[in-house]
Amino acid sequence: MTIATEKPKTMPTQTANMTKNKKLYIKTWGCQMNVYDSNRMVDILSSLGYKPSDTPEDADMMILNTCHIREKATDKVFSELGRLKPHKEAKEAKGEKMLIAVAGCVAQAEGDFILERAPYVDLVFGPQTYHELPEMVLKANGDDRVVNTEFPEVSKFDFLPEEHTIEGASAYLSIQEGCDKFCTFCVVPYTRGAEYSRTAQEVVDEAKRLVDQGALEIILLGQNVNAYHGTGPDGKTWGLADLCYAINEIDGLERIRYSTSHPRDMDDALIEAHALPKMMPFLHLPVQSGSDRILKAMNRKHKADLYRDIIAKLRKARPDIAFSSDFIIGFPGETEEDFEQTLQLAKDVGYASCYSFKYSARPGTPAANLQAALVSDQIASERLSRFQAVINESQAAFNKSCEGLVMPILFDRKGKKPGQLSGRSPYFQSVYVEGNERLIGSIQNVKITNGFDNSLTGQLELLDGVVNG
Ligand code: 5AD
Ligand code: SF4
């Protein structure tokens, strides 16, 4: 069954009362966009009386917000569902109802299969339908099973509540969704649908509300965030650079970041925008491969040297900038020579951090049909460890080079040890210091004492008469 896309914004009061003070457990996999979506699901379900809970025990509704980007995604969902099932059975034995829902990109890709294989799942819905949650929950509470994997005519952003859950002082803001690039390895164009940009006014208004609620940092999100082209308040089409300038003007906001971008959409205006004071000197710019042959087979539509040029231009616009990237190792047809070109690109850029993945064929993508010249799993694993050795070295060197610097750190939570705080540097490194909990949600200067492989430690500097909190 698929439900209609047109719906009232909120549930009728009677139904809302029926579901007062219910516990909602959400488990989120995958990208920052999924984290943003999960927070928005919390916002929309709070109008039905659902309050977030950290544990699945005794929850009234559980949502698995899933990711389909790399291998074993569906298996992971089924094993998590297997773990949740006893909680549902225990609740039902007490005569109470518990809804189990699968959301996100696995739901989009495998909707009917999930309902068939896991008869205890009540709802399956794709990423473009979250605004329809109240109606879906109503149906599921009324004993109907719901599958909703439509790409509705209307945008969910027009229906989501203005109230916004943010954790700490760093907030995600989704400005663009979907992708029209069709890289041959990637499921996103199929699971998230066609590219869509929110209007600039909507984005700026949401950014202001986030700052009013205490956000010091805003991370603009999109699958292809620098392809953003929303209608501006002046009637012209705004690019990401225009948005960054507008958001830079918001009083009280300290930091702007954006993720994830594509080299083809790094236009000169955006490169220049990196000189803005609130723009953080750190950019995640995935390149995937350093071989022109493989970039072509991936349909990335640019050569490795274009990427090198962009990096050079960004360094000119913002001399203290550092980079991270995504790489896929072992794409079909990758030879030792191709791989060495990838290693070379990574060495040339000298990343501050990096994500690298062994290629996995995703069902329905063009690369999954490339039967010829598959790279054996053994070779792909060997190359991946060689690649990661280079990256780890470059990350460790970058972290080491931070020793002795004083950096503004945004503290977002307690550290692992008692009395410890954890925060993020301008380069998105995790930084641990000793300090008072009341500094969480603030930016403080920290003198970096140690640069480790994956994190930094430091000491709070005297600021506004506060030492060590
Ligand atoms: N196999 C391996 N890695 C993939 N990614 C996307 N699709 C695949 C795939 N089929 C990686 C890319 C992308 C990141 C989010 O996940 O590097 O940038
Ligand atoms: Fe996937 Fe990014 Fe390529 Fe779009 S640009 S198809 S999201 S890898």
Q: Say whether pLDDT at 314 is over 60.
A: yes
- C-alpha distances (whole Å) from 374 to each of 152, 328, 365, 418 are 38, 14, 15, 49
Q: For residue 284, what pLDDT band results from cuts at 50, 70 and 90?
A: very high
In angstroms, what is the span from residue 416 Cα to ligand 1's centroid? 30
Give the helix, strand, coil percentages of the chain, each rounded to 5: 40, 20, 40
pLDDT at residue 310 tops 50: yes
Alpha carbon of residue 367 to chain centroid: 24
Each residue of 227-251: pLDDT tens digit?
999 999 999 999 999 999 999 999 9
Range with top average pLDDT, 6-20, 135-149, 445-459: 445-459
**pLDDT value of residue 464:** 52
Ligand 1, atom 14: closest residue by C-alpha: 326
- Average pLDDT of the segment spanning 350-356: 97
Range with the poorest average pLDDT among 77-86, 155-164, 214-223, 356-365: 155-164
For residue 141, what pLDDT is reported? 85
Axis-axis angle for helices 240-248, 200-212 (nearest 10): 30
The answer to whether the CB of 190 is under 6 A from ligand 1 is no
User: Atom 18 (ligand 1): residue with closest C-alpha?
Assistant: 326
Percent of the chain with pLDDT over 70: 92
Report residue 439's pLDDT band, with 50, 70 and 90 as the boundaries. Answer: very high
CA 336 to centroid of ligand 1, rounded, Å: 20
The verdict on the CB of residue 288 being under 6 Å from ligand 1 is yes
- The strand pair at 50-52 and 255-259 is best described as unpaired
As given in the structure block, the two tokens for residue 113 are 């299969």
Q: State whether residue 148 is helix, strand or coil.
A: strand
The answer to whether the beta carbons of residues 354 and 384 sit under 8 Å apart is no
**Four-residue CA torsion sign, 348, 269, 298, 190:** positive
Instruction: Measure the CA–CA gap between 19 and 134, rounded to whole angstroms.
Output: 11
For the cut 90, the answer to whether the pLDDT of residue 15 exceeds it is no
In the predicted model, is pLDDT for residue 156 greater than 80?
no
Q: Whose CA is nearest to atom 4 of ligand 1?
A: 70
Pocket of ligand 2 contains residue 178 by CB under 6 Å? no
Give the Å distance between the CA of 212 and the centre of ligand 2. 33
The reported pLDDT for the residue numbered 33 is 87
Distance separating alpha carbons of residues 187 and 193, to the nearest angstrom? 10
Q: Give the model's pLDDT for residue 152.
A: 73
Q: What is the pLDDT of residue 74?
A: 84
Report residue 163's pLDDT band, with 50, 70 and 90 as the boundaries: low
Residue 11 has pLDDT above 90, yes or no: no
Q: Which residue has the tokens 């995937």?
A: 288
Any ligand 2 atom below 6 A from CB of 182: yes
Residue 10: pLDDT above 50?
no
Q: What is the mean pLDDT of residues 106-124?
A: 91
What pLDDT is stored for residue 1 in this prediction?
35
Give the residue ranges of DSSP H helices in 118-167. Answer: 133-141
| 184 Cβ below 6 A of ligand 2 | no
Q: How far is the CA of 205 from the centre of ligand 2 (A)?
A: 28
* DSSP single-letter state for residue 219: E
pLDDT reported for residue 143: 77
Task: Report pLDDT for 366.
Answer: 94
Beta carbons of 162 and 134 less than 8 angstroms apart: no
Beta bridge partners of 217: 170, 255
Asked if 310 and 338 count as a contact pair (C-beta separation under 8 A), the reply is no
Name the token pair of 95: 């005569």
Helix (H, G, I), strand (E, B) or coil at 56: coil
- pLDDT reading at 174 higher than 80: yes
Res. 311: pLDDT tops 90: yes
Using alpha carbons, list the distances in angstroms from residue 443 to 161, 168, 211, 431. Answer: 29, 11, 14, 12
Is the pLDDT confidence value at 192 over 70? yes
pLDDT attached to residue 104? 92
- Residue 151 — very low, low, confident or very high, per pLDDT cuts 50/70/90? confident
Q: Average model confidence (pLDDT) for the chain?
A: 90
Ligand 2, from 177, 260, 262: best to mutate by most atoms within 8 Å of Cβ?
Answer: 262
Q: What is the mean pLDDT of residues 288-307?
A: 98
- Is residue 398 pLDDT above 50, yes or no? yes
Evaluate whether 217 touches 278 at the Cβ level (below 8 Å): no
pTM of the model: 0.88
For residue 413, what are its two tokens?
A: 């939570």
Rounded to whole angstroms, how far apart are CA atoms 12 and 318? Answer: 52
Q: Find the 223 Cα to ligand 2 centroid distance in Å.
A: 7
> Which segment of 22-26, 153-157, 209-213, 381-385 scores lowest on mean pLDDT?
153-157
Q: Is the pLDDT of residue 16 over 70?
A: no
Span 347-372, average pLDDT: 91
Our mutation pick for probing the ligand 1 site, out of 32, 33, 35, 70, counting the most ligand atoms within 8 A of Cβ, is 70
**Token pair of 259 as six digits:** 């993720």
The alpha carbon of 182 and the centre of ligand 2 are apart by a number of angstroms equal to 6
Question: Would you say the CB of residue 183 lies under 6 angstroms from ligand 2?
Answer: yes
Residue 428, both tokens: 């998105």
Cα 95 to Cα 87, 90, 441: the distances in Å are 13, 9, 42
